[in-house]
Amino acid sequence: MTLKLGRHHFPDDATIMMAIVNRTPDSFYDKGATWAEDKAFDRVAQVVDEGAEMVDIGGIKAAPGENISEDEEKRRVVDFVARVRSAYPSLVISVDTWRASVGRAVCQAGADVLNDAWGGADPELVDVAAAFGAAIICTHTGGATPRTRPYRVEYDDVVRSAIQDTVAYAYRAVAAGVDRRSVVIDPAHDFGKNTFHSLELTHRLGEMVDTGWPVLVSLSNKDFVGESLDLPVGSRLTGTLAATSVAALAGARIFRVHEVVETRQTVDMVNTIAGRRLPARAIRGLQ
C-alpha cells in the first residue's frame, strides 16, 4: 500500500530506513551521545548522508528512569524538530512520544509522524494526528504502562494479541480522521514482552503483514537479540541484521534503526533475493 507520511508519499514497493535520534542524556544505546542539540543535529546530517528517508526523534527514553514532564519533553524536541524541518524539507520527521500535548507541539513545529511507542496510552494522540494530517504508528504493548519493564507477562498467543491490538488501534485512528494511508502497525519488540515473545513475533511477522496495514519493526540492538546471543548492547549488530532479514523477507516496510547503511544493504539484498527488487547492476556472464 502507498504510504503517506505527512507531506511525503512512498510507493507500495518502498522500504524506509527510520534512523533513531535521541535527545536524551540516558539512552540505553548511545548513552547520551546526541543529548546536546548540535550533536543530535550532526546525527541527523549523518543519517541523511547515509540514505535514511526518515528520522525518529525522541525526548524521553523508554526504560524506567528520571520522571520527565510534558514541558521538559517539549523543551527537548519541539525546537529541534523545527530546526530539522527547516534544514531538511524532504526528510520525514517522526517523533517518539505517547503524549498528545507533545504530539500537538511537534506537529506544529513540522513533524510528519507520531510514533506512539506505548500503544495508545493517551487516547487523544490519534485526534492530534488527524488534526495535523500526520501519520501515526500503532504499537502493541499488551497494555503496559509507559516506561515500565515487562515482568512475567503472559499471552495465549502473542502474535494474535499484537494483531488484534494494533489493528484495533489502526481502525480507531482512521475513525478519528487519520488518512488510511498514514497508519502503520508495529509489534513493538521487547515492549511488554519477554525474549520468547519477541522471537515468536519475528518468526511470524508475515501474519501482521497479511493484515494489509504497513508494518514497522524496531529491532536494532534490542534485548531479545542480546539475550538470544548472550551479547551486550554495542555488540548486537549481526544479530540485529539477522532479525532484520527475517522481517524484510516477511514484508516489513519501515525499519527503525541505529545503523542505516548496514540495514539498508541487508533489506535490499533480501528484497532482491525475494524478487521484489532488481539488482543495482547485473553484468556478470553478460559481458
Segment 22-31 mean pLDDT: 86
AA identity, residue 167: V
> What band does 29 get if pLDDT is binned at 50, 70 and 90?
confident
> pLDDT (tens digit, 9 = 90+) per residue, 129-160?
999 999 999 999 999 999 888 899 999 999 99
The three-class DSSP label of residue 115 is strand
pLDDT confidence of residue 201: 98
> What band does 219 get if pLDDT is binned at 50, 70 and 90?
very high
C-beta separation of 162 from 190 below 8 A: no
pLDDT confidence of residue 192: 96
Q: How far apart are CA 28 and CA 276, in angstroms?
A: 35
Percent of the chain with pLDDT over 70: 100
Q: CB-based burial of residue 162 (10 Å sphere; 0-12 exposed, 13-18 middle, 19+ buried)?
A: buried
> What band does 261 get if pLDDT is binned at 50, 70 and 90?
very high
Residue 117, sorted as left (phi over 0), alpha (psi -120 to 50) or beta, turns out to be alpha
Name the grid cell of 22.
535521541
Segment 163-171 mean pLDDT: 98
* Mean per-residue pLDDT over the chain, rounded: 96
Q: Spell out the CATH class of 3-273.
A: alpha beta
C-beta separation of 227 from 195 below 8 A: yes
> pLDDT (tens digit, 9 = 90+) per residue, 90-105?
999 999 999 999 999 9
pLDDT confidence of residue 31: 78
Compute the 3-state secondary structure of the chain and give helix, strand, coil in percent, each to the nearest 5: 40, 15, 45
Q: Nearest Cα to 59, choosing from 43, 75, 47, 46?
A: 75
Does an H or E element contain 217, and which? strand 216-218
Percent of the chain with pLDDT over 90: 93
pLDDT confidence of residue 26: 84
The three-class DSSP label of residue 228 is helix
Query: What is the pTM (predicted TM-score) of this model?
Result: 0.96
- Could you tell me the residue ranges of all domains in the chain? 3-273
> What band does 253 get if pLDDT is binned at 50, 70 and 90?
very high
> pLDDT (tens digit, 9 = 90+) per residue, 177-187?
999 999 999 99
pLDDT confidence of residue 148: 87
> What band does 59 get if pLDDT is binned at 50, 70 and 90?
very high
**The residue count for the chain:** 287
